[in-house]
Amino acid sequence: MDELNTDVIQGTLDMIILKTVSWAPLHGYGIANRIEDVSGSVFKVNPGSLLTALRRLERAGLLESEWRTTENSRKAKYYSLTSAGEARLAAERRDWERRSGAVTRLLAAEG
């Protein structure tokens, strides 16, 4: 049997990161773990892809960051959502619901 694909759906990583950070500020490792946990291990984020996305979202003003000490007494960059990030998340969620609804209708349709 083929191994199940755990890649995040193309084009959705930013939305998933924004949603994950909307619950609480997190560092990169925490974001990756939270995505995997909440998705029931359906999604696993490649660390390189995550870092690239976090930098892009921060440059776009959708996330802000600050250095903090973790529960393991290590320094880590914690990311939190900006007001612009909240607005983008809402817009991306509406678009996702529209598109996923269309795919669901197409899959359920009888020729």
Domains of the chain are 13-103 (1.10.10.10)
What pLDDT was estimated at residue 10? 76
What pLDDT was estimated at residue 84? 98
pLDDT bracket for residue 11 (50, 70, 90): confident
Half-sphere exposure of 104 (CA within 13 A, CB side): 6
> Residue 20 in contact with residue 34, Cβ under 8 Å?
yes
What pLDDT was estimated at residue 6? 67
Per-residue pLDDT tens digits for 51-108 = 999 999 999 999 999 999 998 999 999 999 999 999 999 999 999 999 999 999 999 9
pLDDT bracket for residue 46 (50, 70, 90): very high
Q: What is the pTM of this model?
A: 0.89
Tell me the two tokens of residue 41. Answer: 């291990």
Q: Which DSSP category does 12 fall into?
A: -
